[in-house]
Amino acid sequence: MGGKESKLSYIPYEEAVRRLRDSEQKRLKDAFKRSSTFGGLMTEAMFLREVLGDGVPAPVSKLIFKGFGGSSKGLNYKDLISGLVVLTKGTKEERIKLIFGMYADDSYTMVQRDEMDRRIIETEGQVSHAVSELFLDRDQVTFEQFRLWIFQHPGATIITKWLLMEDITISLSNDTDTPTFYQTLAGVTHLEETDISELEKRYWMLKSQSKSGKFDLETFQSMVCPPIPQDISEGLFKAFDENCDNHIDFKEMACGISACCRGPSMERQKFCFKVFCKKKDGKLSKEDLIQMLTAMLAVRSENRASHELESDVFHNLYPETVAMEILACHDADKDDSITQEEYLVWTVNNTLADDFLNLLSQICHIVLGLKPQSTEEEGSIVNQWLSRESRKAFQVGQIWYLISMQWWNCWNEYVSFKNVTEINGDINGTASINDKVINEETQHRITKNKHPGKAIPWEDDSVIMVNAKTSSYNMSQSYSGASLTHNHSNNAIKAQSCASPLKTCLNTPDQALVNRSPSHSPKFRKKTLQMNNSLPLKPAAVDNSPLLVSSQSKVISLTNEGGRLKRDIMLVRGKDFEIVPEAIWRALSTWYGANTALPRTVISSSTNDGQPELELYPITVKLLRHQFVTNRPVPMTTFTGMMSGIGGMALSMSNMVASNTQTPRRYVAYTATFSRQHTVQQIYEFLCTKLRFSREDTRLWKIGSKEDCMTLLEDENQTLEDCSVEENQQMLIEIRNKDLTWPEEMSQLAKNKTLRKEAGSGPTHKGATGLNNLGNTCFMNAAVQCVSNTWPLTQYFIGGLYRFELNRSNPLGMRGHIAQRYGELVKDLWSGTSKTLAPLRLRWTIGKYAPRFNGFQQHDSQELLSFLLDGLHEDLNRVHDKPYVELKDSDGRPDDVVAQEAWENHLLRNQSIIVDLFHGQLKSQVKCQECGHTSVRFDPFNYLSLPLPMDSCIHLELTVIRLDGSVPVKYGLRLNMDEKYRALKKELENLTSIASNQILFVEVNGPIVKTLPQDGQKVRTLLGGTLYAYELPPPEDIKPLSLEEEKGSKGSLGLSDIQRGLAARKIPQENGSIENGQKCSENGSSSNSSTPTHSRNPSDLTTMGSLASPDSMSKSVGDVFNGFVIAVHRKMTLMDVYFLSVQKTRPCLFGTPIILPCVDTTTNQCVYQFVWTQVSRLVSPLPPSEAKTTNHAQDCDDSLGYEYPFTLKVVQKDGLTCAWCPWHRFCRGCKLSCNSDSFNFGSSFIAIDWDPTALHLRYQTSLERLCEEHESVEDSRRKQKEPINLDTCLQAFTKEEELGEDELYYCSKCKKHCLASKKLDIWRLPPILIINLKRFQFLNGRWVKSHKIVNFPYEDFDPSRYVVPRSCEKHENIYDANCNQSKDTLQNGDSIVPNGNIPTSCDKDKSDSEKQISTNDCKSCNNNQSVDELDYTDVRYHLNSMSCHTGILGGGHYVCYAKNPNNKWYLYNDSSCKEISNDQVDTNSAYILFYEQQNVEFSKFMPDLEGKEPDLSEIEDEFESDFKKACVIQ
């Protein structure tokens, strides 16, 4: 083999190279470099893809790879070249050697029987009899034996048939040229290929700035306005947007630029006419003319100096008068409008439009990226732009770019070389007309310093001095604007009286302003003449390094300020630098390149009455990050393990001594430069976007002179100047840990310190204190803040009343520890002395009594709240000796009696401030469905858990494509989760009026068909795919077209009809035939026809017959689909380097597939016509008004000089290879001729090969995915996201529900478990009503979160309609009858607080209070009054606080919103607490709501302290020591 003596040398490498042309050898080398590894070898996978292509079966490709000399390591270049030459140009002997190498062993000396059989089976499936003859009496053969055998059996294998019997269809070169996109556009425009290539790069950059992803009107206006007037920008946009789809594609942009910049004068004027032709009817009305003249006069005025306008004949024209004159002179048909031809006649003798055309040329070059054709044009365009900007004052927020004066002077000499020669070559000093565009004043102050060699720069009035002082002068000579100076004290360019940002007159302190003549001095002209002796060189890339301080820092900068300007010398504008607008800088850097950009922002001066000034020296800050040392995690099997890992802290049980905990190491990660007037909010947004951080997980600290003196930047409205941020200020970017802790907080907790902050940084109101996150403890913080902001309970704890009621003997309590720890925390929260607290003691105490809350996993805030309220209740329970109560059945007794009995039994065991404030009563009614027996119970609750309607439906959006080729329509549907596609068809039939048996569902993934869902499959939401519904013809209407009809159809379609999109409207519809002559049937039929050039052999053919015999071929796919075939769009991509000729162009799929209905009698012409019907809307037709004219810049009439702009080819499922030809033909698909031959389902897949010219110029890519939205889409989306009301949740809570088979109820009457119905109602409302919205539910075997939005009232919430109504008469009778019994059972001496007047709320019967109680006893007679007070007709609640959950199930984050007693809302986000307005409350993620009843005297719930002593004992030493041991922070 080539270059390897151990292998069979079928051709030496040197011989192979001699057979190659120089161009082939160079191309092959380049191709190998691109596809080889660093070791100079080509892998097998790369060989399969790049050399042979995807059409060759993988086993065959591997065999050829081995034959070339490839191994597991790869294939070297010499062996590859030798193999390719033999494959394409080799002799028969050389090919036999190549075949031997494919089947030989690793030594390439022998062919083994077993090895050859295995390889043949892999490639062909079976071993032929001829192969068996090779090994009749031996197990291995030499090359000579193999050679003799193969001469006798050249068709023994598919490899031998291909290389020895067939004509090789591949070569090393392909001389057929497919025009590239650039070549096509260059051929029909006035642009070069290089121009088009550069414009395309610019186009994608401009498009990327769009919010919609399209180059739409909004994006266009943001780039061209100004200088284009806003009122004509839409007309300019439409002039580019030929197909009126509100999107400029690249072809439209290139053609538009060519028309208005590079075309002849008449063509440019035509484009100008289109700008002002609003109705696109080819006429300018009077209103259009007035707008045109107004815009042209405005542009002319803006692009001329004031002294020029004084003598300008157009300056004082009135647009209305001129419009009337134009109509009077040029409106031949007197219809109050002028045509394009009449407009062109007007422009012949009128130059008013020239300034507008010049402005369009500037836009195309500077904004849209067209490179000027000459240096003179470049200089003119740039200087005209600068001249216009020089007449404007600075605007705050503008960006200007600094350019080194050294480079600026070189550029000016380069672009003005010829102009200078012409000007100075005139002895009389007269300038040419072209040079008058840049007036002398503009040259004087914009181009360069007049005397670059002068040592005193302020001698030139166009120079700006640093630290120079100016004296005032007559304001009538100039208007007050912004100018350029700079001061070392404030590092800003101060505003002075000046005419523009580009000209500032500075004088020495003792020198008055001297008016200078703008004319050039003789000395300057003389120097210019001397310079012209040599041609200036083109400037190199823009180099701003002379302006910058060399930086040794290796830290990257996040901002694009480019660098820090020198401070040790005075930088003088006109001597050291010049400034240009952003658009000019972008253009220059594109044309020449640039090493460093120096953008500077115009800000409002803080020392000069707010005048705009250019900030030369913005503030550079050092941004620090934390660096953590990874420690081995503590095992979670012990208490120590459970309490370890809090935000980088470790809790140890050993030594009882705190070791030194180091602060997480801070390091300088980045630098950044900001304006001193940037707000903190802007800094946050920039950093989070740049570094991809979440705003909620990011905090910014200003680090003071001492390490622990830090200020948190919380007020987002403050500027950096307000925050006293200085140059080189250190700022820390703090990122929340994964367990939601803040590193700085945990570090300070470890040191038992608090962050030192500036005076006045504490909370402004009591209660506005945050809680540190101790490791995913946001669920606890939110719940605690909600309870803390329940003011009656907080008053109870702040006043220390809880110490009088601590119950340390309650076996169900926590020995008073929960109440004590919570009381201590509440006192600290409402002390107003700290901005944040760490609830370590409460956290540890909760974990001790409820181990499920240990560790650092996220938990449910509602579960923590339930535990906390129950714990507080039991720790503060006034009943120390709980009596036994027996639960009685209602037994038909009135609800009032049973309810009062249950409530009194509840109070016998439970009396506390928690019961007084939070406990209500529910009525639970269960009805047996067999006997009708009803059982009623009344249970206490401390919160209502309301169900949210879970989404049991799936929302589907699918696109319907009809047979008539109309714009697809998108429909929205909602179906049950277990529905099948059959039901989806029924729903779609109701919306579209398409019969369900005419709907074909197709799942499309990109340009290919992924699946065809069947009717019996369950509907599923698609991941990555899109669901389409294609309309099929009705089966009963299948009628073939007669030959005359087919001919008539064909004859009625002319070339111009197809080009203008009229074909679809001319197809005959009689005889029940499908539109476009298309028919379909349920059964396909096979076809024995073949094309003249290709056999219809399946790709996997393994027969031993002749490969060229069409009679032995059979259809490759046959009847895969029933009554239709699938067509995919395909284009050919030209490759610059390739190995084999077949790889010079590679197919690429795009667009949306098409379903083509077919029947047995469908002809090829019908297939073509149906494809055209479907794609004609994507091909832009010729404009009717310009059908007979030629405009190569836009119309491109020659792009559709044929009947159809595509060719149909039969392909396999992948759309890349032929369906008829075997793989070794390397066929991309056999052409389907457009004739009357029967199609006969020749292939189930067809490729629509687009003509390159038509594809590049006429195919509108933006219309591929365009579809109309049916009203059902919005309706379905609305229902999916439609919020519900709190009343809806309460209705669902009180609605009767049927219990299932797994919830059978034991009926006391039937004495067995029976089916039953259950209903819950509210009986008693508490003063503080807690509502839990059940967002987390167990559905279909898994936990899911509902993101449903619930609307709820802030004020005047009335739940009374869900309370069971009472009868007052019954109340009196009940309590009179049971009065005596109540007195007997009353426990005198106990301090029992009557609680009958406490109202209750909605749902939930799952609290610890829900214990079985007896109904034997009644309370005292005093309760008669309280029961009578159970009148909720006028009860109202207002929202006091709420806990919100954002994010996903198992993660997410909890925050609390609460209303302070000062009537202001606060957001408690862990340690952060800030005041917010009502509309900033995130009601969409509400989870727990705290409502407080209005007009309630809460003081009556406070305990009577007479005769009681407070329990002042602290938590016992043993308990406290355990806490101290556990909280040793390492």
DSSP string, 908-933: HH--SHHHHHH-EEEEEEEEETTT--
Pairing type for strands 920-928 and 934-941 reads antiparallel
Rounded CA separation 1305/1309 (Å): 11
Query: What number of helices (H) and strands (E) belong to the chain?
Result: 48, 46
The verdict on whether 765 is a catalytic residue reads no
- Interhelix angle 92-103/77-89, rounded to 10 degrees, is 130
Rounded CA separation 1350/1287 (Å): 9
Residues 771, 784: contact at Cβ < 8 Å?
A: yes
SS3 732: strand
Beta-bridged to residue 464, according to DSSP, are 573
CA pseudo-torsion sign 119, 124, 130, 133: positive
| Alpha helices in 751-816, H assignment, sequence order | 778-788, 791-798
Residue 1061 CB neighbours (<10 A): 16
How far is residue 1076 from each of residues 202, 311, 1029, 1053, 1169, measured CA to CA in Å?
A: 42, 66, 20, 11, 6
Catalytic residue (one of 365, 486, 1129, 1453): 1453
Rounded CA separation 874/910 (Å): 8
Catalytic residue (one of 277, 505, 778, 1158): 778
The verdict on whether 1453 is a catalytic residue reads yes
Pairing type for strands 1328-1334 and 1305-1307 reads unpaired
Residues 777, 783: contact at Cβ < 8 Å?
A: no
- Which has the closest alpha carbon to 1329: 1365, 1357, 1292, 1293? 1357
- Which has the closest alpha carbon to 1443: 1416, 1481, 1406, 1407? 1481
- The tokens 């622990």 sit on which residue? 708
- Which has the closest alpha carbon to 1503: 711, 620, 1006, 803? 803
SS3 1000: strand
Give me the half-sphere count of Cα atoms (radius 13 Å) on the Cβ side of residue 1508: 16
Rounded CA separation 599/616 (Å): 9
Residues 273, 232: contact at Cβ < 8 Å?
A: no
Angle at the Cα of 335 (from 332 to 336), degrees rounded to 5?
95
Residue 1341 CB neighbours (<10 A): 5
- The strand ranges marked E within 267-318 are 283-285
- The tokens 């034991």 sit on which residue? 1306
How far is residue 521 from each of residues 429, 450, 507, 524, 525, measured CA to CA in Å?
A: 11, 10, 20, 5, 7
Give me the half-sphere count of Cα atoms (radius 13 Å) on the Cβ side of residue 362: 27
Measured between alpha carbons, how far apart are the two ends of the chain, in Å? Answer: 70
SS3 614: strand
Rounded CA separation 457/448 (Å): 12
Rounded CA separation 1226/55 (Å): 7
Exposure string for 371-400, b = 16+ CB within 10 A, e = fewer: bbeebbebbbbbbbbbbbbbbbbbeeebeb
Exposure string for 314-338, b = 16+ CB within 10 A, e = fewer: beebebeebbeebbeeebeeeeebb
Rounded CA separation 81/2 (Å): 8
Active site members: 778, 1453
